[in-house]
Amino acid sequence: MLRCLTGAKFTMTATPLYWSGVTSPDDTGDTSGTWETYQDPITGEIRQRWLPSDSSGNPIPPTDVSTAQTTIPCMARGILNGGVFGRGNSQVFGDMYSNVEYVHMWVPANVKLSKRDRITNIRAANGEVVWTDDEYNNRPTVFNVIGVTPLFDGPFNVHIHNFVELERVTPES
């Protein structure tokens, strides 16, 4: 009964962008290869990745799991103000412009996320994308995962879901 009630709260969906793995020759222990500059198709970032070479010296194409489109159930809520315990959404004008946006999200216990992952396409129950970026033609906002905390029910100490704190990706990240 408890799991049914817990699962009923996940009326939204999101797309996780899992970290792609090898980013340097140190990760593989192999120094034969080349660096590749590429544009992430989802976030639009210009990034670099290490492509190891095969025995004849040809680069091995990457297996980039960050572009695999999976959907996870969730419940997401924006933070309206800083308050005592949470950061709010804010714009800071000064020497450098900063537009900070945080989202609290809850996912089922079987969804595994790490601080290296990102989240996008947060959708309401009707399928509408609820966070979009005006400056990028209303594409779905991409968020960094800045924390994952397992949550347990009270009397039985069973892992029922995870609390995930998200921060809007900025051009520098």
* Same-domain pairing of 9 and 93: yes
Q: Which domain holds residue 43?
A: 25-65
For residues 141 and 155, state if they share a domain. Answer: yes
Report the percent of the chain where pLDDT is more than 70.
65
Answer yes or no: do 30 and 74 share one domain. no
Which CATH number covers residue 133? 2.40.10
Distance CA 133, CA 118 (A): 15
168 beta partners: 143
On whether both 120 and 57 belong to a single domain, the answer is no
Q: Is residue 91 part of a domain?
A: yes
SS3 state at 28: helix
Indicate if 85 and 160 belong to the same structural domain: yes
d(CA 88, CA 50): 37
- 27 residue type, one letter: D
Q: State residue 39's pLDDT score.
A: 75
What token pair was written down for 102?
A: 């945080």
pLDDT lower than 70: segments of the chain: 1-8, 20-32, 42-43, 45, 55, 57, 59-69, 81-94, 96-99, 170-173
Q: Are strands 33-39 and 72-78 parallel, antiparallel or unpaired?
A: unpaired
> In 20-29, which positions are buried (b, 16+ CB within 10 angstroms) versus exposed (e)?
bebeebeeee
The answer on 147 and 100 residing in a single domain is yes
Rg value, the chain, Cα: 19
